[in-house]
Structure 1
Amino acid sequence: MQDTSILGAESHPLHLHGFNFFVVGQGFGNFDPKKDPANFNLVDPLERNNVGVPSVGWVAVQFLADNSGVWFMHCYVELHMSWGLMMAWVVLDGKLSNHKLLPLPADLPNGLADAFIDKNPNRSGHGYGFVRFNEKQNI
């Protein structure tokens, strides 16, 4: 997650519902996908369910998507949600019966169901908020 588009004095405290995650890296400036992952702490990273994305910086987290459902991720600063600092992760069904999403309610308004259905099951999900059950996510 990166905050280099708007110069400001405050960080963005992000929270992910339904999961704890590991903070594997953070820094200032733009994230460099060729250099920065080499410095990730994959041995003993901090475990959290919220993290501060530094102003003019980035943070990388990793979590195991093992809790099927639709999970909200958002900035705690309410005004920032109006800027788009919120999203939903849709963690799709796993193979076991207790890893299945419940069916959508029959009385769900028309059109709303489309927001919860992955129309391309071969998609990796990165960047769309769709993840496969038990898939490690680096964001």
Structure 2
Amino acid sequence: MTSGDPALGHVLALIRTAFAGMDGRIDPPSSMHRLTLADLDMPTVEVWAIGAPPLACVVLTPQADTLYLGKLAVAQAAQGQGLARVLVDKAVDRARALGLPSVTLQVRVKLTGNHAAFAAMGFEEVARTAHPRFDRPTAITFARAVDA
């Protein structure tokens, strides 16, 4: 999507709906609660979506040594159709085009189903981190080499 795309509002709504099921399951709450249209319309991020209105989306942020994959969301009615895998593969292609060696993402420790889904798409755990004020890991960093 390009800057100012009116569909960004639909993307934000999709993310909020898809991530709502995490409320009460993860602590601290998802950063999705702080996500705004302005965040999606920043020149430092790329928003990719499938469908009109969007059935699936992902927010990509190029970093110095990786492409960060954030806020991957699929509408409930479209789950099980392989849309997440399509977006992950597009992210890998985009990282390659940008000359970045990997795609990286974070998943909350408690979301074990997501761990398995990303492992099935070629991601490997590379780190565990704790949010501020937590004395235990709250997130797992996964990475996938662009050549994988």
- TM-score, length-scaled by structure 1: 0.26
- TM-score, length-scaled by structure 2: 0.25
Which has the higher relative contact order, 1 or 2, with Cα contacts under 8 A spaced 6 or more apart? Answer: 1
Structure number with the higher helix fraction is 2
Structure number with the higher strand fraction is 1
